[in-house]
Structure 1
Amino acid sequence: MRLTAAEMTERKLHRRAVEAALWGMPLVSFDALRQAYFHDASVAYNDIIYWSKPASWKNQVTTPNTSAHYVMFFLNVKDGPVVVDIPAATDAALFGSLIDAWGSALVDVGQTGDDQGRGGRYLVLPPDTQAQPTTGFVPVRSATYNVHALLRVIPKSRSSQDIASALELVKRLQIHPLSTARPARAPKLVDMADKPFDALPRFDASFYRSLARMVSEEPTKLQDLAMMAQLHSLGIGDGTPYRPSALVTEIMQRAIAEAHEYMVEGFRTDGVRWWPNRRWQFLIADDIIKSKATFRLGARILVDERAFMFFGAFGPTKNPSPHLYVKTFEDSSGQPLEGSHTYRLQVPPNVPTTQFWSVSAYDNRTAGPIREAAVVGVDSYTPEVKRNADGSVDLYIAPLPPKGQEANWISSASGKPFFLMFRNYGPDRSVFTRTSSWVLGDVERVK
């Protein structure tokens, strides 16, 4: 088949736009969070947003832990190093990471980080800086100018007093340029509990506008020079304003639809089966684990696996704690989970955990909480949850709660496919040595 010059150009742009989306997924995921931080929370760099209550469906980020109190802030080191003061965690647990624009964790902070919960002063340094670390700081060398922090505060209990003590830690955080001995102003603190926070990437032509914005702000890595040449044909990264023609916009619309389908499917199928003869898979690809989340394995960059991960998750840590996150998209018969049906998941007794377990439901198409969901997740801390005589827990996932099961219900939405994630925080050592006899059953459709 002989193609015209115009047809060859269109095909070239389509191919390059698909690959650009996969390559740039971490950057666009980062920018989606940043834009929600600026616009939904109405804050600026160095301000702090937090959730005083566990997340509802309004916290539209990828696969949030619906039991956590999140804390987030963004900073920019384009004009010089920035100081992050992490307070000592005495009345609650505090942990998390500083993360660059590519989604790479730079340093862990808090109980599981360099300060081990005693508090610490972290100095975030710009890319390629020649400056020597200042005495009294933990130096954090960033490969990007934009950096964000994702922290979690864990109260000792669900009591109002313990929650208030945990949130006091947030008020003691400080972020300011090194050039100022003290902050010019105290960070603005905004509680986002029950407020819209729309931080999911949009899989339409605007995806490439976000990508262009991030590429223009960040230094180019040597490993990405070939991709930069391809981006140039899309009008991205050449130092000129991003102004795609109507034709290029139409091509991008088709390309991002294709890339989106590929990422949805990739996230669904990535991850090893955790238990034999069960449909639960580990959250991310085995190759990402082998790369220690550097996304470099041998002589290759894990471009596809990285795209799948950042489609479905955010906020990695540099030295991940040994928690177990497994996901399922299917019921026991292998059929996709569909929001119009009623399902039962039995959590067997004696979960091998030193902390707690949780189950949450997410939208297949976005990996975010199901919009308008009355209940996005249930965990072992929930006092109202009904337990069976043997200590097992039957959870129901349906558009409406079965009669008498309101405390054990997780919302779905009619007509929408979804997936479930089971989290075991602080699992017993036997879980990862694969010597534990405890096995989570598959999701059963209730006829």
Structure 2
Amino acid sequence: MRSICRPLLLTGAILWLGAIQAPAIAAEASPYKFSKGYPAAEAITKARDDADLQRAITAYRFWYPTVSVEGIFNGNRQAGLKDNEAVGAAAAGPRQVGFTLNSDTPYGSATLDVAKEPMVIELPPGGYIGLANDHNQSWILDMGIPGPDGGKGGKHLIAGPDYKGAIPDGYFAGHSATNKVLMAVRALPVGGDQQKALDALHAIKIYPLSTAADPKPMKIVDTTNTDMDSTSLAWEDNIKFWEVLDRVIQEEPQVAKFEPMYGLLATVGIEKGKTFKPDARMKAILERAARQGRDQMLVSAFDSNRPDRFAWPDRKWEWVGLVPDTAQFETTAGIDLEARDRWFAQAIVTSPAMFRRSAGAGSLYWLGVRDRKGAYLDGGKTYKLSIPQPVPAKLFWSVTAYDAQTRSEVQTDQNKAALRSLFELKDVKPSGSVDLYFGPKAPKNSEGRWIKTVPGRGWFAYIRIYGPDGPAFEGSWKPADFEQVK
């Protein structure tokens, strides 16, 4: 008995001594000086500045999706697409700057205002993949193939936060927590017919519920050849981030589940019903927080240390979405903040359909940031990427190159950033593997399977599979890593 008790007592004594010594150690390591239990004068200013910076960085990272989606709204408006009046439809390319937009499918996008009454989005039957997100990029509903209509067409209704009316029969309904809503729809280019897919976007009808008996749909505007910037790049590292966020906070109702985060914003001067007027000290802190917050999110995006990020244990390819089968990064432990930061630093919009990892899911995304040896991809070097055939895709697949600084398609005089199975790679043999190339100069005899990159700029890639089959999940199929070639 003694041999058992003594170690236990000794362990307890050590723990107790450690507990009473911990405050002294912590105080010695603290950057703030105290005297007789009170903060010294020089400590007060530093502690307040540090606390405000920490709160501002946390607020920045949490509210980044809100400012990011405002970038999309802003891009639409600058292109002449007014809220509730016009929908943009585009076969997107490098000229459309947007976080990891792609050229695989034409896009339809609109800013809807549901403050006064619900809006109806009517899809005909066909190959549509659509969704609606609110002003905080929270998911409202899916449409088309991943939605309740299953591609058979239907009327989708989005009601605002103050709507108290009944939902009429015959609608797939969703409620937005905010007045402004992003509607995004993609049309699949079945058989490689891009124009037919664009025409399918023009067949969508969007109109107020009150006009359902005799609708006058929003006009569809082709923006394929329009230079657009739908990002928050101009705001994300300076005081404008906070000015844009303040405007949204003033215009939108408060979302109950975000109450603690509104309180956090209030500590840095953003509060609904009050004027945002940071003094010189707070402005400097907020600008510093914007730079640090953005950079911290980019580390999550491009150099996460999460072991679950790898798609295959012997490859550098990573999952873009770290939490499968959820719209808002929910886990049993709560919201996965690393996964949330990682996603919104490089992408836009959310839906559970986007993160499914099962056969028959709408699509899969894998991220490639490094080459086979672990070095970041460099726009001044040439790489080969071998893709085994056949790719386990019921529909089609692609590889797209993105600029690391803009998180948008690489911009060069080649004016393309993707190699797609329905277009550039439609003649690839169904067995063996196909070699794709990325670099500043076209490799001899492989010009049609090459994407030009820019020396002096980093880049990354997404592999996308649409209609993935089992081998994409079980490990019997996997792409090679990027390999530098001379």
TM-score by length of 1: 0.90
- Bigger relative CO (Cα 8 Å, ≥ 6 apart): 1
Distance in structure 1 (CA, Å) of the matches to 2:458 and 2:477: 28
Give the CA deviation at 1:185: 4.9
Give the counterpart of 1:409 among 446, 450, 453: 450
Give the CA deviation at 1:16: 1.8
Aligned CA RMSD, in angstroms, stands at: 2.4
Give the counterpart of 2:200 among 169, 175, 180: 169
Matched, 1:392 2:392: no
2:405 equivalent in structure 1: 365
Structural mapping, 1:192-231, within 5 Å: 192-202=223-233, 203-205=236-238, 206-231=240-265
Structural mapping, 1:93-112, within 5 Å: 93-112=127-146
Give the counterpart of 2:68 among 15, 26, 29: 29
CA distance change for structure 1 residues 301 and 390 in 2, over 3 Å: closer, same or farther?
closer
1:298 equivalent in structure 2: 332
Indicate if the aligned counterparts of 2:100 and 2:408 stay in contact, CA closer than 8 A.
Answer: yes
Matched, 1:257 2:284: no
1:144 equivalent in structure 2: 178
CA distance change for structure 1 residues 208 and 123 in 2, over 3 Å: closer, same or farther?
same
Give the CA deviation at 1:182: 5.8
Distance in structure 2 (CA, Å) of the matches to 1:420 and 1:155: 22
Distance in structure 2 (CA, Å) of the matches to 1:156 and 1:19: 44
2:26 equivalent in structure 1: none
Partner AA of 1:69 in structure 2: P
Would you say how many aligned residue pairs link Structure 1 and Structure 2?
434
Structural mapping, 1:209-358, within 5 Å: 209-268=243-302, 269=304, 272-285=309-322, 288-289=323-324, 292-298=326-332, 300-320=334-354, 321-358=361-398
Partner AA of 1:167 in structure 2: L
Give the CA deviation at 1:322: 4.6
Indicate if the aligned counterparts of 1:126 and 1:145 stay in contact, CA closer than 8 A.
Answer: yes
Indicate if the aligned counterparts of 1:331 and 1:444 stay in contact, CA closer than 8 A.
Answer: yes
Distance in structure 1 (CA, Å) of the matches to 2:428 and 2:330: 45
Matched, 1:116 2:150: yes
Indicate if the aligned counterparts of 2:353 and 2:362 stay in contact, CA closer than 8 A.
Answer: no
The ranges of structure 1 where at least 4 consecutive aligned residues each deviate by more than 6 angstroms after the TM superposition are none
Matched, 1:446 2:485: yes
CA distance change for structure 1 residues 324 and 296 in 2, over 3 Å: closer, same or farther?
closer
Q: Percent identity?
A: 28
Indicate if the aligned counterparts of 1:376 and 1:411 stay in contact, CA closer than 8 A.
Answer: yes
| Secondary structure, counterpart of 2:109 in structure 1 | strand
Partner AA of 1:381 in structure 2: L
Q: Considering fraction of residues, name the structure with more helix.
A: 2
**Higher mean C-alpha deviation, range 175-184 or range 346-355:** 175-184
Partner AA of 1:368 in structure 2: S
Distance in structure 2 (CA, Å) of the matches to 1:200 and 1:147: 16
Give the CA deviation at 1:88: 2.7
Matched, 1:14 2:90: no
1:422 equivalent in structure 2: 463
TM-score by length of 2: 0.83
2:5 equivalent in structure 1: none
Distance in structure 2 (CA, Å) of the matches to 1:437 and 1:414: 35
CA distance change for structure 1 residues 88 and 381 in 2, over 3 Å: closer, same or farther?
closer
Distance in structure 2 (CA, Å) of the matches to 1:185 and 1:244: 45
Partner AA of 1:147 in structure 2: V
CA distance change for structure 1 residues 298 and 156 in 2, over 3 Å: closer, same or farther?
closer
Distance in structure 1 (CA, Å) of the matches to 2:449 and 2:45: 58
**Higher mean C-alpha deviation, range 261-270 or range 130-139:** 130-139
| Secondary structure, counterpart of 1:114 in structure 2 | coil
Residues 271-296 of structure 1, C-alpha deviation per residue, up to 9 Å, x if partnerless? 521112110111122xx326x12333
Distance in structure 2 (CA, Å) of the matches to 1:141 and 1:390: 47
CA distance change for structure 1 residues 107 and 227 in 2, over 3 Å: closer, same or farther?
closer
Give the CA deviation at 1:125: 1.2
1:62 equivalent in structure 2: 99
Distance in structure 2 (CA, Å) of the matches to 1:6 and 1:184: 61
Indicate if the aligned counterparts of 1:88 and 1:117 stay in contact, CA closer than 8 A.
Answer: yes
Give the CA deviation at 1:190: 1.6
Indicate if the aligned counterparts of 1:97 and 1:318 stay in contact, CA closer than 8 A.
Answer: no
CA distance change for structure 1 residues 129 and 385 in 2, over 3 Å: closer, same or farther?
closer
**Which consecutive unaligned segments of at least 5 residues does structure 1 have?**
none
